Amino acid sequence: MALPEVKQTATEARLATLTMPEAGCTRAAREDALARVLEMGLPGRRDEYWKYTRPDTLISAEQPHAALFHSDEPLLFGNLDRLKIVFIDGVFSAEDSDDLELEGVNIDRIEDICCKDIHWAKELYGVLESRGQSPVQRPLAALNTAFAADGVAIHVTGKPTKPISLIYRHASETSDAMLHHIIRVESGAEVTVLENGPAASRFNKCIEIDIADGGTLHHVRAQGRDHERRAATHMFTRLGQESVYKSFTLTVNGILTRNEQVIELTGDDAIAHVAGACVGDGDFHHDDTVFVTHDAVNCESRQVFKKVLRNGATGVFQGKILVKEGAQKTDGYQISQSLLLDDDSQFLAKPELEIYADDVACSHGSTSGAIDETALFYLRSRGVSVKDATNMLTLAFLAEAVDEIEDEELAEAIVNRLEGWLSRHI
Amino acid sequence: MAALDQTQVKEGVDQETVDAVREVSTYKYGWDTDIEMEYAPKGVNPDIVRLISDKNEEPEWMTEWRLAAFERWTKMDEPNWAMVHYPKIDFQDQYYYARPKSMEEKPKSLDEVDPKLLATYEKLGIPLKEQMILAGVEGAEDMPAEGRKVAVDAVFDSVSVGTTFQDELAKHGVIFCSISEAIREHPELVKKYLGTVVPVSDNFYATLNSAVFSDGSFVYIPPGVRCPMELSTYFRINAENTGQFERTLIIADKGSYVSYLEGCTAPQRDTAQLHAAVVEIIIEEDAEVKYSTVQNWFPGDENGKGGIYNFVTKRADCRGDRSKVMWTQVETGSAVTWKYPSCILRGDESQGEFYSIAITNNMQQADTGTKMVHLGKNTKSRIVSKGISAGKAQNTYRGLVSMHPKAKDSRNYTQCDSLLIGDKCGAHTVPYIEVRNNSSRVEHEATTSKVDDDQLFYCRQRGMDEEEAVALVVNGFCKDVLQALPMEFAMEAQQLVAISLEGSVG
Amino acid sequence: MLEIKNLHVKLEEEEKQILKGVDLTVEAGKVHAIMGPNGSGKSTLSYVLSGRDGYEVTEGSATLEGEDLLEMEPEERAAAGVFLAFQYPVEIPGVGNMTFLRTAVNAQRKARGEDELSAADFLKEVRAKAKSLKIDADMLKRPVNVGFSGGEKKRNEILQMAMLEPKMCILDETDSGLDVDAMKLVAEGVNALRDEGRGFLVITHYQRLLDHIKPDVVHIMADGRIVKTGGPELALEVENNGYADILAEVN
């Protein structure tokens, strides 16, 4: 079917600004992805999946601009023993990164997977993204597969002793970066992946994660510190039998953030938890879009998303649990809540259930409202200032999402970051 | 009902006993008619639109209104966002106008009718004596009312065949008549309100309805009047290949109250039939309208053959402060249902409520829900939706709760529960929640589960067979909604729940 | 009346044998008590007799007045006269207690080829029976067991028993969760139903219920078998010495 003219024009304009990397062995996958982009067209305002988030600036052919942000805050995860992999404006920096050597894991740049004959990676690049295009189209992810210039392939075969930390630095006010990582967690292996940093003026990132039977991946991410950046991120995760995927994202800044999580539970008894805490102030638009597919028996999925918004900030949640025929004994849970600190902020949500199996327990809840006046008064009557009381209640509100982080040290780092933000902003 | 009321008088039994007996008593009614019809030629075009307008002896302005709608409709596309699938409808292969050739025609022998259909009607039950009126029994209208009075406007295919109690209602200033009559007799009211809640160009089906609606009901409740009886429209599609496009307009003037009931059935046909109705409700200051529907259009057979395509636009506009609307629907019929009775909460402190039971079995598909659009301050809305899916059916709740920036201090509470019976059906929930101010509170909860095994075992241990146990548990699951129905409908609905789920277990 | 022979039962989903050859005969007019430590298979026996899913009979038989219970659906067993007073009565939201009772009564009457009870007769009977169990009108209107206290739930079970007039009553840990007053009330209800045509199987962990419902025969069950049978004095022995002695003696 032909694309609407507006979409066709916008797509062509954006594609004209991009060059596909040579990329040897991933070339075929990239060509396929480009074909998908051409077929789908880039997201437009009228697309149902972009009902609450305007994709214009994410797809525009114009060079993005974002002022750099300076802060004297201590670095997130700064005290943590981790393997650092640094990207500056979307380009791998060997100089700033640690040696990519760690027991139980092999790490390579995507551009190296061809010369090193790394079969698993060649077979995965673009595959999960492509699977994730149905039933809902995600053209920005396909665009990423086609044009991403850098990224790493992480092969987890054991249980590395420290987390792998992906750090995204922003150096140019007009950087327009696309990164594509692929991660394969082998049977029984376990890894923690951290991500933080503003990355670029405009950032399009895609991670494909394949977790084999009995594998475990923990993911903790912090986005923020750059007021003007725009980001569209995708995580495509496929889970095998008895595997575990737990992901948490903190977002405290940026003009526009769209985080998509596409999770497919394909093996029995698998567990997937995704959580997000977001604190938005002013010209801030944050969109969590989650799509969980249950395609196996006795799996558990859990989505916990909390947003605190003020000064005209907008929070969006689109979450879906799809239970396919035969995916019996599914336990699916989803909660999305927002705390609106003033009247200019808004929360837009579309929590969905689509269920084709009967022996399931699925539920979702969504609430939106102002801070609890009774609780606020109670704290004040005990001598706590309005500001501190508001902070306390805000943190308490976000706690349910932060609690999803299993590792205490990581949770503490996130809470510290949140507290710092609250003390400055409220 | 009437008999029980008399019992109370005769024996002086306490009210609790009467209530209890009511609660456990069952109702059984049945009817069928077979009437020769007069049709307009198949298809829709400006000539057909003029013909419908002409048959209803409408004034020129109405004809023009229809033609403008038709013009619009030709430029519109059929919506495809709902989670329903059906073969493409050939809108030119439908009759847009059919009416009984003669009102005097008596029902014929029932021998030729499929016994399965007869059985359905027997179990279905149509609550009151309007069975006789509908069947064309002479003088039925003049018979004394039994028990609680319900005035009925019966729409048979394209035309209203009779409205009861008009005189008594007139004493209170209540106008209750067919919309065709209202267009002739009360043009000022129709002109003022028609199309103001559901605009001509609202959506594909509503626009088609605006062009070709053949009849429907009209209600006007004057200021301060509490309508002395329930008003009811009974819709029936009888003729083959006939689309039914009725239009209902209800106006509750300041401080008035009315409870309105709508019931529908259609006979079993191999080919699908189209039903595209529009209901507009205007509620002024301090007025209240309760609108209850029991929809039991023919759902098609076990293989999905035939059945009604039910594409309905229903909307209430709470214009005045403190106005209130309550939609209650029990949707058990139709092959495909596409229906979202909505509330525009424009007046400050206005309230909207939506209670829904949607049951789909076999190959049925339902995509139904509501929209609560909060515009005024201190407005409140409540949504309770119970979806039950069995067989190979698909059941979707689709809803919108929107809090506009000016709708300060408003509240919404939504509860959507889905129940699955069998592993081949689907239950889906698609809510849209838009909150644009922070003094309003929105709460949404949804659950999906199957019928609880422990509950079924408990019932069976007490002697109920599986089907009976399922019906009982499902009725319990629907209780919150059933309670919102007027008594007459609640009884009928409870039985419908059981009938609709027949064959879904085992 | 109830005859159980060499009954072997395992869980359907796992290889776990729970009953390992139970032999038991309950005569009409008699009250048999089954006592035993936790996990001995007492509750399983009640579920298997009433036809709950999840259990597989691997050997043996259970008949009521010569009819094979194990071949019947749960509702057929109920119509045949088996009544189970649940240890944990199930809550059914939205279904009025009265509606539930009437549906059950009429379902059984229908299964036995009897006419349905008229609404008026039914009400009269429920009211009278409820009154003797101190069940008030409010409890009859409320949804089945929803929001009932432990005592209310158990009284409600006995009310159902009284209304359904079964031949064989099985009481599964009916005393659990009850205080002394509630237990007395329940026991009175049960005693009122004792008659020559009816058999009782009272399953309990403690002897205290048997102070109020005097058994004719007491069985001790352990590890899926009946290990000892005696008169009421056997219950007292358990009360005084616990199960350990008896089990040691049997082994």
User: What are the pLDDT digits (tens) for A300-322?
Assistant: 999 999 999 999 999 999 999 99
Q: Which of A182-186, A346-350, B197-201 has the lowest mean pLDDT?
A: B197-201
Task: Say which residue, C247 or B50, is predicted with more confidence.
Answer: B50
Question: How close does chain C come to B111, measured CA to CA in Å?
Answer: 30
Task: Say which residue, A290 or B239, is predicted with more confidence.
Answer: A290
Query: Is the pLDDT reported for residue A98 higher than 70?
Result: yes
A88-to-A199, A333, B267 alpha-carbon distances in Å: 7, 37, 70
Query: In what order do the strands lie in the sheet containing C82-85?
Result: C82-85, C168-172, C199-204, C31-35, C217-222, C225-230
Residue B26: what pLDDT?
A: 30
Check CB contact of C104 with chain B, cutoff 8 Å: yes
User: What are the pLDDT digits (tens) for C164-189?
Assistant: 999 999 999 998 888 888 888 889 98
State the pLDDT confidence band at B499, using cuts at 50, 70 and 90.
confident
* Residue A425 is assigned to a structural domain of this protein: no
Task: Say which residue, A212 or B268, is predicted with more confidence.
Answer: A212
Rounded CA gap, B213 and C170, in Å?
Answer: 64
What mean pLDDT, rounded, does chain C reach? Answer: 90
Picking from A342, A343, A360, the nearest residue to B449 by CB comes out as: A360
Residue A112: what pLDDT?
A: 86
Check CB contact of B448 with chain A, cutoff 8 Å: yes
Query: Is the pLDDT reported for residue B124 higher than 80?
Result: no
User: What are the pLDDT digits (tens) for C119-140?
Assistant: 888 888 998 898 888 888 888 8
User: What are the pLDDT digits (tens) for B234-250?
Assistant: 766 656 666 788 899 99
User: What are the pLDDT digits (tens) for B88-120?
Assistant: 888 888 888 876 554 333 333 333 333 443 343
Q: Do A362 and B426 touch (CB under 8 A)?
A: no
* Residue A328 is assigned to a structural domain of this protein: yes
Range of the domain at A269: 5-372
Give the N- to C-terminal CA distance of chain A in Å, as an integer: 50
Residue B106: what pLDDT?
A: 32
Residue B1: what pLDDT?
A: 31
The answer to whether A241 and A213 are in contact (CB under 8 A) is yes
Picking from B21, B458, B473, the nearest residue to C86 by CB comes out as: B458
Task: Say which residue, A423 or A194, is predicted with more confidence.
Answer: A194
Residue B37: what pLDDT?
A: 57
Q: Do C107 and B478 touch (CB under 8 A)?
A: no
Q: Which of B144-148, B400-404, B431-435, C103-107 has the lowest mean pLDDT?
A: B144-148
Structurally, at CATH architecture level, domain C2-249 sits in 3-Layer(aba) Sandwich (3.40)
Give the N- to C-terminal CA distance of chain C in Å, as an integer: 30
* Segment C215-239 mean pLDDT: 91
The interface predicted TM-score of the complex, written ipTM, equals: 0.89
Taking CB atoms and an 8 Å cutoff, what residues of chain A touch B377? Answer: none
Query: Is the pLDDT reported for residue B147 higher than 70?
Result: no
Taking CB atoms and an 8 Å cutoff, what residues of chain C touch B452? Answer: 90
DSSP A334: E
Query: Can you give the residue ranges of every domain in chain C?
Result: 2-249
Q: Do B438 and A363 touch (CB under 8 A)?
A: no
User: What are the pLDDT digits (tens) for B255-296?
Assistant: 999 999 887 665 555 667 888 999 999 999 999 999 998 888
Q: What are the residues whose beta carbons fall under 8 Å from the beta carbon of B46, sequence distance 6 or more?
A: B67, B70
* Segment C40-67 mean pLDDT: 93
User: What are the pLDDT digits (tens) for C83-118?
Assistant: 999 999 999 988 888 888 988 998 899 888 888 888
Peptide bond into C143 cis (omega under 30): no
State the pLDDT confidence band at B343, using cuts at 50, 70 and 90.
very high
Select the residue from B464, B470, B474 to test the C interface by mutation, using most C Cβ atoms within 10 A.
B464
> Two tokens at B239?
């003729």
Task: Say which residue, B397 or A389, is predicted with more confidence.
Answer: B397
Picking from C98, C137, C144, the nearest residue to B24 by CB comes out as: C98
Q: What are the residues whose beta carbons fall under 8 Å from the beta carbon of A265, sequence distance 6 or more?
A: A239, A272, A292, A293, A294, A295, A296, A299, A301, A327
For chain A, what percent of residues have pLDDT higher than 70? 99
Q: Do C73 and B457 touch (CB under 8 A)?
A: no
For chain A, what percent of residues have pLDDT higher than 90? 75
Q: Do C90 and B475 touch (CB under 8 A)?
A: no
Question: What pTM was estimated for this model as a whole?
Answer: 0.85
Beta strands in A114-161 (DSSP E): 152-156
Picking from B436, B438, B449, the nearest residue to A370 by CB comes out as: B438
Q: Do B458 and C92 touch (CB under 8 A)?
A: yes
User: What are the pLDDT digits (tens) for A22-45?
Assistant: 877 889 999 999 999 999 999 998
Rounded CA gap, B130 and B140, in Å?
Answer: 8
Residue B35: what pLDDT?
A: 46
Q: Do B429 and A353 touch (CB under 8 A)?
A: yes
> Two tokens at B435?
């909150």
Residue B155: what pLDDT?
A: 61
State the pLDDT confidence band at A93, using cuts at 50, 70 and 90.
very high
B356 membership: H or E segment, kind and range: strand B351-360
Rounded CA gap, B78 and B68, in Å?
Answer: 18
Backbone angles phi, psi at B415, to 5 degrees: -130, 120
State the pLDDT confidence band at B146, using cuts at 50, 70 and 90.
very low
Residue B229: what pLDDT?
A: 85
Rounded CA gap, A34 and A419, in Å?
Answer: 43
Residue B506: what pLDDT?
A: 57
Query: Is the pLDDT reported for residue B144 higher than 80?
Result: no
Query: Is the pLDDT reported for residue A416 higher than 70?
Result: yes
Query: Is the pLDDT reported for residue B10 higher than 80?
Result: no
Give the N- to C-terminal CA distance of chain B in Å, as an integer: 35
What mean pLDDT, rounded, does chain A reach? Answer: 92
Residue B149: what pLDDT?
A: 60
Query: Is the pLDDT reported for residue B6 higher than 90?
Result: no
Task: Say which residue, B152 or B52, is predicted with more confidence.
Answer: B52
Total domains in the fold of chain A: 1
Q: What are the residues whose beta carbons fall under 8 Å from the beta carbon of C15, sequence distance 6 or more?
A: none
Select the residue from B458, B467, B478, B485 to test the C interface by mutation, using most C Cβ atoms within 10 A.
B458
User: What are the pLDDT digits (tens) for A112-165?
Assistant: 887 777 778 888 999 999 999 999 999 999 999 999 999 999 999 999 999 999
Task: Say which residue, B308 or A124, is predicted with more confidence.
Answer: A124
The answer to whether C182 and C155 are in contact (CB under 8 A) is yes
* Residue A402 is assigned to a structural domain of this protein: no
Select the residue from B26, B459, B505 to test the C interface by mutation, using most C Cβ atoms within 10 A.
B459
Q: Do B457 and C90 touch (CB under 8 A)?
A: yes
Query: Is the pLDDT reported for residue B143 higher than 50?
Result: no
User: What are the pLDDT digits (tens) for B24-50?
Assistant: 333 222 233 444 556 778 888 999 999
* Residue A421 is assigned to a structural domain of this protein: no
What would the DSSP string read from start to end of C12-46?
SSS--EEEEEEEEEE-TT-EEEEE--TTSSHHHHH
Neighbors of chain A with 3 or more C-beta pairs under 8 Å: B
> Two tokens at C164?
């359904």
Strand, helix or coil for residue B424: coil
Rounded CA gap, B166 and B161, in Å?
Answer: 13
* Residue A387 is assigned to a structural domain of this protein: no
Query: Is the pLDDT reported for residue A251 higher than 80?
Result: yes
